[in-house]
Structure 1
Amino acid sequence: MAVLKFKSKGVEVKKLQQNLKDLGYKIAVDGDFGNGTKSVVIRFQKDNNLSPDGIVGSNTQSVIDFLLAENPIYGIDISHHNGAINFNKINWEIIKFVFCKASQGKTFKDNMLHSYFSELKRLNIFRGVYHFMTFKDVSASNQVNNFLNCGVDFTENGVLPPVLDLEWQQSPALNNYIMQNKSTCIQKAKDWLTKVEAATGRIPIIYTANSFWRDYFAASADFSRYPLWLASYNRNSPVIPTGWTDYKIWQFTEGGTIEGLVGNVDKNVFNGSMNDLKKLANF
């Protein structure tokens, strides 16, 4: 294939522009590879962990082809770090689900949750919430109470199952605590999952990364009944942690960009059909 870059013109450029538009990018389809097209190409490359040089060679084109062939179901996850979001500007033809941070540890509740969630409900978008687990000096029961007190109705149509975020903590000392107390931390996660399932009637999802699971959770295989939301920032098929055979959701970048949202955002792809997503969301 021809390499497309700044000042390229013609049918191939027009096809590239249409492909990027089909993937949700705002771009003029005019056959002219100008500054606008170069800017969108760089954004696409950053979103997909490619070298952001603004040149469409074989690597960039292969990712475009892959995304178009797979017809993926995309989602994002957000928190107060994303600030004010113009939900009316998001391309909901591309983004089909959103997870919001609800809580962390014993007392922290995300102050943007209710604003985000009410907008998503207004727009009838599949939506869910997650709890970031703290492992030291906080019981599972206290964290369950904090999460459930966020006021999300998990029986409502369009609401995805609760999520437990199991990952690196905010300091090396806290990560070292997990390393030195693996069995205690694994049991704390099990207790949270069991109690939340009993309270909501929904089987929770586990969010984690393979390297965290391997190093800190001793590659535990005791969680296989819970759907896996896997963080893996590369375009190759991610390595599945011990205990699972596949993922339900793949978070493939933390540096995505979308219209309506300032700065970077985590982007995800759902492993299944639209009917599968609807079923997961009580729809």
Structure 2
Amino acid sequence: MHVSRRIQPVLAALVAAALTFVLAVVVPFSPASRTDAAAQTLPGVVSGVDVAGHQRPGGRQIDWRTVAGPGGQRFAFVKASEGEGWKNEFYDEDARAAADAGMKVGAYHYARPAEDPVTQAQYFASVINAGPALSLPPVLDVEVDEGLSPQALIGWTQVFLSEVEQATGTKPMLYTYRYFWTERMANTNAFTGYPLWLAAYQNQAPRPVGGWDKLTFWQRSDSGRVPGMNTPVDMNVFNGSEADLSSFSAGNYAVGGGVLESFQVPESGELGILEQDNTALVVAILGLATGILGSPQVHDAAAKFGFNPEDADKIAANVKDLAAQGQLPVGDLRTMMLGDYSVGDLLILLANAQK
């Protein structure tokens, strides 16, 4: 996901070939640095995508029948709304076309915690209630706190989810990533009654957070290449069989489990980079923030993790830009440095800092 209406949707090369993050300008990866590991449909799992407006550059349509056919994707989540009143202009078209192609389809809302949860929930519900029929639960995408304390954010989330369920008649699902839930939601276990969709860009499925006993969906990459798509796209895996997915779409949220717990992506070098402990890179970024170090030192730290020189340059440049704009999340970086977090966790944090 990781896309806000408040910035021009862009692909910033903060990762080696497997990942891209939406920042300030479109920065394509060098073809020589790419492999197919993050883009292939994985054997033995039910694969799907999630899309937003930036999958429609210039309004170009997604060929959903190709996505579902040669692309092998079985489900899709489409961004519907954000904040108190913004709607993805392509939502209805993409949700309907994906369903017509035989895919299970859901919708998600990008949370703006600085704004009212009831207003946002009612707006999200109005968009999906008026749109094409959905076969997957509505999703709250919560990735930024916008200044709320963990307790306040927990309360905000409870209000939003309750309001959506009441307005749609369907229990919603939560999308987040590990660092955010652990540190900004105090790793609360208050939401285990809702299915969990967790983002983590790595070779092996992550452990659940917040008291959940399993993931329901795992977003494993945001740079997949799928036939029928005009751009890189988020790749996801359902924790169950196709029969389980059908049962889940019928409202049996307890179904599934056991697939991701033992699953290993075919070894991918670029995902291996992101699985490393991020301490050395965080130290260099904090050094830049305090003026002790500069962009060359951030570049060198990124290069030591295995990023190619071009991508290391882009990481350093984007960190420098964040610092110059006063958007570098210094407090989060200090927390992350002391915790057990990966390079992938760090890059998701930096991507969200641009929003």
Q: 1:108 aligns with which of 86, 94, 100?
A: 86
CA distance in 1, matches of 2:99, 2:77: 12
Which residue does the alignment assign to 2:45? Answer: 72
CA distance in 1, matches of 2:68, 2:155: 41
Q: How does 1:128-147 map to 2 (within 5 A)?
A: 128-136=106-114, 138-147=115-124
CA distance in 2, matches of 1:43, 1:193: 39
Which residue does the alignment assign to 1:149? Answer: 126
Establish whether residue 160 from structure 1 lines up as the match of residue 152 from structure 2.
no
1:195, CA displacement in angstroms?
A: 1.3
Q: What per-residue deviation string (whole Å, max 9, x for no partner) do you get for residues 97-128 of structure 1? A: 00000111101111110110121232232100
Aligned residues: 216
1:81 alignment partner AA: H
CA distance in 2, matches of 1:75, 1:237: 15
CA distance in 2, matches of 1:247, 1:155: 27
Which residue does the alignment assign to 2:306? Answer: none
Establish whether residue 230 from structure 1 lines up as the match of residue 198 from structure 2.
yes
Distance 1:91 1:123, change over 3 A: closer
Q: Could you tell me whether the CA contact under 8 Å between 1:210 and 1:239 is conserved in 2?
A: no
Bigger Rg, structure 1 or 2: 1
2:172 alignment partner AA: P
Task: Calculate the TM-score normalised by the size of structure 2.
Answer: 0.57
Q: Which runs of 5+ in 1 are unaligned?
A: 1-38, 49-63
Q: 1:269 aligns with which of 222, 237, 246?
A: 237
Q: How does 1:1-283 map to 2 (within 5 A)?
A: 42-47=34-39, 67-68=42-43, 71-83=44-56, 84=60, 85-92=62-69, 94-136=72-114, 138-152=115-129, 156=133, 159-168=135-144, 174=146, 177-178=147-148, 181-282=149-250
The Cα RMSD (Å) is 2.4
Which residue does the alignment assign to 1:14? Answer: none
1:237, CA displacement in angstroms?
A: 2.9
Q: Could you tell me whether the CA contact under 8 Å between 1:109 and 1:146 is conserved in 2?
A: no
1:200, CA displacement in angstroms?
A: 2.0
1:151, CA displacement in angstroms?
A: 3.6
Identity %, equivalent residues: 29
CA distance in 2, matches of 1:41, 1:143: 41
1:82 alignment partner AA: Q
